[in-house]
Amino acid sequence: MFKFTGEILGEAFADFVAFSSPEAIILFGGLARAGSLIMDPIRESMEHNLLEIYKDKVKLLFSQLKESDAAVLGASALGWEVR
């Protein structure tokens, strides 16, 4: 299940990188608790599907925030955007 999910997420992340060119993609929540079980298939699939100019340049990281803090900070960031 982790391999299948990681492959789908890796493809989606590669698509995301193609139009947004992020420095890193940060995962949190239940997904992050799976650790290398999910991260390894995601990274492998993403690298396989990335355009050459992005290969080995986008970091995949786990958030260091507590889940409760992440939700509050995300909501407050949206508030700043509305102004």
**pLDDT score for 63:** 82
Q: DSSP states of 13-35 as a string?
A: HHHHHHHH--SEEEE-THHHHTT
User: At residue 30, what is the residue type?
Assistant: G
- Walking along the chain (83 residues) 10 residues at a time, the average pLDDT comes out as 95 96 89 87 97 95 77 74 58
Q: Are 29 and 67 in contact (CB under 8 A)?
A: yes
